[in-house]
Amino acid sequence: MNTTLSTGIKNARNVRSYMYGFGQLGELRNILHSCRVADSPAVYFIDHYFQANGLPAGLEVDASKDIVIFIDSTHEPKTGQVNALRDEVLSRARKMPCAIVGLGGGTTMDVAKAVSNLLTNGGNAEDYQGWDLVKKPGIFKIAVPTISGTGAESTRTCVMTNPVNGLKLGMNSDYTVFDQIILDPQVTASVPRNQYFHTGMDAYIHCLESANGSYRNAVGDAFGEQTLDLCRKVFQSEEMLSDDNRARLMVASYMGGCAIATSYVGLVHPLSAGLSVVLGVHHCVGNCIVMRAMEEFYPEGFREFWSMVEQQGVDIPRGICDNLTDEQYEKLYLSTIIHEKPLTNALGENFKEILTFEKAVSLFRKM
Amino acid sequence: MNTTLSTGIKNARNVRSYMYGFGQLGELRNILHSCRVADSPAVYFIDHYFQANGLPAGLEVDASKDIVIFIDSTHEPKTGQVNALRDEVLSRARKMPCAIVGLGGGTTMDVAKAVSNLLTNGGNAEDYQGWDLVKKPGIFKIAVPTISGTGAESTRTCVMTNPVNGLKLGMNSDYTVFDQIILDPQVTASVPRNQYFHTGMDAYIHCLESANGSYRNAVGDAFGEQTLDLCRKVFQSEEMLSDDNRARLMVASYMGGCAIATSYVGLVHPLSAGLSVVLGVHHCVGNCIVMRAMEEFYPEGFREFWSMVEQQGVDIPRGICDNLTDEQYEKLYLSTIIHEKPLTNALGENFKEILTFEKAVSLFRKM
């Protein structure tokens, strides 16, 4: 066991406050009331799913005061998109907003974090990609996760890509942590089965990687073990989408996010990042696809993962790397191998001797 | 499973930041540096153990600027003691302190929380015994737990007794939560075996009671389950005081405190409170004593607890209620039965029909 937090985060910042419970989304109104200054607006970033399907029950938006912006979560956030959203807020709000609400999945919550930071710190999103570059607290920000697994509700980053230089890196900062989160398992009742599984497994896979890595510590282990246990309860049950299981997965997502702060991922996430960058595969389903090739690295996790896939009867895409060009394989390799810290955690300092180009291609072909 | 947090705390406040690691106590200096304003002093409340045995390694106090007050933790805090400590700080500090450090066990940390609140809110300790009576944030406060189990480092209360009216009740408030905690398992290396066990079991017993209660929710369950797992790892191992196990128990204490925020205790804590009030028994050893009488209420926990006592070869006092006067039994019963919420959680609304005076006496006689 390592003796200190080994992720460069010596001092882990918690989410300030959390509410939990079926129907707690209705409390959002009171939270906003308590932080509202005069007629300053609240800004809602809401996943576009709810534009097509109606707002979740219990959400009351005052359209005369507040600003609602739907977020297209088809693709993960880009720096230009974050800047444009900041501009839209500034042009529509007559005053500085009193609060930013991110209601959706990882993409929507990350956008909320990023815009909150930009509104008070000035500059553009790309100026803050890195570690501890944000200098002031952002606007009071509230997360309402509507799908469970990524842990964006509890982490200190907001992932985004700058298409100009290809950099995929968040604003890693204590100021990126939400002030308030509302965990209401009622809002995840309508998530489709496949997406529920893929996203939930982000928490499971992260903690599987950490538990098998060489950088470990007692705090990360404890949050990680509990996350894994909760995921097992959910995905080894008869009905993974039951009320109790949606509640458990919501807690697993929160705790998995807490685990991230104090641990490293391993081999799955770097390979999955390759799939994202080169083939545009979404992060969560990408992790599941990578698991096809993980038997030799995580034998127990591999068996457990695929038994849960089978039990729940969900689909994991297959063969997406079968017939790529040499150039594509090269790109996949390069965008995997740059993730040095997690690969060192998984394979040791000489990870390039294990994960050679040929080895990586054979893994991608298994997917 | 209950559908919302059911402890009256709808919105759970987290500790703002935590550090973890062997030797992290050395970081306290940097934390104080970053919050120090001009020549404002830091106030250290330190358990009197360290007065006799020397300060823990890594702790550097600047005696020219800062104020050190040793806390006699023989008895649990009283309101008058808190007021007197507040007065001592005010008379010794030329300026309002920049930070309050509580370095010790539950008593010392609770004193730090209470004095921090009093310094900014005015009035006396007894004015804030209750729920949400504190109106302003206290002085920036930092906990360095030197023994693991009570969870005082992560809870929103600071238990104290007002001898005038007998009220044992803390300042339950979001403002009572620490801003910073430093979890350094190095500092628990010198804790005596019996005390290490008794105090660690406070976390175990709390979570055992919650898990068997009728008020439950997914967040409290998750923190509680992980706390129990960690305690089992520690107390079912060959050497409960090893580095890894002290690290685990420190995390269990923190998570057990988080569990408290969203759950209720059961039958053990009310009976133990009786022992405290009537016989002056310390909270943690009191819980262990009560476990002698818990076979019919928590059969699995009973067996597990006593097998851990046996494995670790620790002492639990016996027979302390054997030869009491009728008046003493009466007092024990009354100071147990007033804890209506936990008793309802454990036994149902008609708990007085189960826990009659005769039944309670038979339980006390088993201890």
Tens-digit pLDDT profile for residues A66-125: 999 999 999 889 999 999 999 999 999 989 999 999 999 999 999 999 999 999 999 999
Question: Rounded mean pLDDT of chain A?
Answer: 94
| Backbone torsion region of residue B71, taken as left when φ is above 0, otherwise alpha when ψ lies between -120 and 50, otherwise beta | beta
Apex CA A263: angle with CA A261 and CA A269, to 5°? Answer: 100
Q: Looking at the partner chain, which of A225, A244, A251 has a beta carbon nearest the beta carbon of B229?
A: A225
- For A277, other C-beta atoms within 10 Å of its C-beta total 18
Q: Does B93 touch chain A (CB under 8 A)?
A: no
Query: Residue A304: is its pLDDT beyond 60?
Result: yes
Give the count of Cβ contacts less than 8 A between chain A and B: 124
SS3 category, B180:
strand
Q: Strand B17-20 relative to strand A11-13: parallel, antiparallel, unpaired?
A: antiparallel
Query: In whole angstroms, what is the distance from residue B328 CA to residue B323 CA?
Result: 10
pLDDT score recorded for residue B62: 87
- State the SS3 of chain A: CCCECCCCCCEEECCCEEEEECCHHHHHHHHHHHHCCCCCCEEEEEECHHHHHCCCCCCCCCCCCCEEEEECCCCCCEHHHHHHHHHHHHHHCCCCCCEEEEEECHHHHHHHHHHHHHHHHCCCHHHHCEECCCCCCCCCEEEEECCCCCCCCCCCCCCCEECCCCEECCEECHHHCCCEEEECHHHHCCCCHHHHHHHHHHHHHHHHHHHCCCCCCHHHHHHHHHHHHHHHHHHCCCCCCCHHHHHHHHHHHHHHHHHHHCCCCCCHHHHHHHHHHHHCCCHHHHHHHHHHHCCCCCHHHHHHHHHHHHHHCCCCCCCCCCCCCHHHHHHHHHHHHCCHHHHHHHHCCCHHHHCCHHHHHHHHHHC
Measured between CA atoms, the residue of chain B closest to residue A254 is B219
Q: What is the DSSP string of B188-222?
A: GTT--HHHHHHHHHHHHHHHHHHHTSS---HHHHH
Measured between CA atoms, the residue of chain B closest to residue A186 is B3
pLDDT above 70: percentage of residues in chain A: 98
The residue to which tokens 């003796």 are assigned: A3
Q: Report the range of poorest mean pLDDT among A55-64, A223-232, A306-315.
A: A55-64
Q: Strand A180-183 relative to strand A141-145: parallel, antiparallel, unpaired?
A: parallel
B5–A21 CB contact, under 8 Å: yes
Q: Report yes or no: B156 and B134 within 8 Å, Cβ to Cβ.
A: no
Residue B167 sits at φ, ψ, to 5 deg, of: -75, 120
Q: Tell me how far CA of residue B147 lies from CA of B208, B247, B290, in angstroms.
A: 20, 11, 21
- For B188, the token pair is 């628990």
pLDDT above 90: percentage of residues in chain A: 86
Measured between CA atoms, the residue of chain A closest to residue B24 is A4
User: Starting at the edge strand that comes first in sequence, how are the strands of the sheet with A42-47 ordered?
Assistant: A67-71, A42-47, A99-104, A141-145, A180-183, A17-20, B11-13
A20–B218 CB contact, under 8 Å: yes
User: Within chain B, which residues score under 50 in pLDDT?
Assistant: 1-6
Query: In whole angstroms, what is the distance from residue B215 CA to residue B95 CA?
Result: 46
Q: Looking at the partner chain, which of A10, A16, A21 has a beta carbon nearest the beta carbon of B217?
A: A21
DSSP assignment letter at B291 = G
Q: Report yes or no: B182 and B19 within 8 Å, Cβ to Cβ.
A: yes
What ipTM did this prediction achieve?
Answer: 0.95
Strand partners for A67: A43
The residue to which tokens 């009740």 are assigned: B169
Burial tier of B34 (Cβ tally within 10 Å: 0-12, 13-18, 19+)? exposed
Q: Looking at the partner chain, which of B4, B17, B24 has a beta carbon nearest the beta carbon of A21?
A: B4
Measured between CA atoms, the residue of chain A closest to residue B249 is A218
Contacts of A262 in chain B (CB under 8 A): 20
- A184-213 residues touching B, CB cutoff 8 A: 185
Nearest CA to CA, how far is A91 from chain B (Å)?
A: 33
pLDDT score recorded for residue B4: 41
B222–A226 CB contact, under 8 Å: yes
Q: In residues, how long is chain A? A: 367
Q: Report the range of poorest mean pLDDT among A139-153, A269-283, B2-16, B166-180.
A: B2-16
Query: Residue A316: is its pLDDT beyond 80?
Result: yes
Q: Report yes or no: A236 and A216 within 8 Å, Cβ to Cβ.
A: no
Q: Does B27 touch chain A (CB under 8 A)?
A: yes
Query: In whole angstroms, what is the distance from residue A15 CA to residue A28 CA?
Result: 16
Q: Report yes or no: A24 and B25 within 8 Å, Cβ to Cβ.
A: no
Q: What is the pTM of this model?
A: 0.96
Measured between CA atoms, the residue of chain B closest to residue A21 is B4
Closest CA to A71 of A41, A28, A104: A104
At A6, is the pLDDT very low, low, confident or very high (cuts 50, 70, 90)?
very low
A225–B225 CB contact, under 8 Å: no
pLDDT score recorded for residue A62: 87
> How far does CA B284 lie from the centroid of its chain?
9
Nearest CA to CA, how far is A21 from chain B (Å)?
A: 4
- B311-340 residues touching A, CB cutoff 8 A: none
Residue B244 sits at φ, ψ, to 5 deg, of: -60, -40
Apex CA A317: angle with CA A315 and CA A320, to 5°? Answer: 175
SS3 category, B305:
helix
> How far does CA A195 lie from the centroid of its chain?
14
Query: Residue A260: is its pLDDT beyond 90?
Result: no
pLDDT score recorded for residue A2: 38
Strand partners for A143: A102, A181
Strand partners for B47: B71
Query: In whole angstroms, what is the distance from residue A290 CA to residue A363 CA?
Result: 8
At A5, is the pLDDT very low, low, confident or very high (cuts 50, 70, 90)?
very low
The residue to which tokens 């009742």 are assigned: A189
> How far does CA B107 lie from the centroid of its chain?
7
pLDDT score recorded for residue B239: 96
Q: What is the pLDDT of residues A197-221, one digit of tens each?
A: 999 999 999 999 999 999 889 999 9
Q: Report yes or no: B250 and B331 within 8 Å, Cβ to Cβ.
A: no
- For A273, the token pair is 């990042």
At A8, is the pLDDT very low, low, confident or very high (cuts 50, 70, 90)?
low
pLDDT score recorded for residue A363: 97
Query: In whole angstroms, what is the distance from residue B135 CA to residue B8 CA?
Result: 18
Helix axes of B268-279 and B357-366: crossing angle, nearest 10 degrees: 80
Contacts of B247 in chain A (CB under 8 A): 1, 217-218
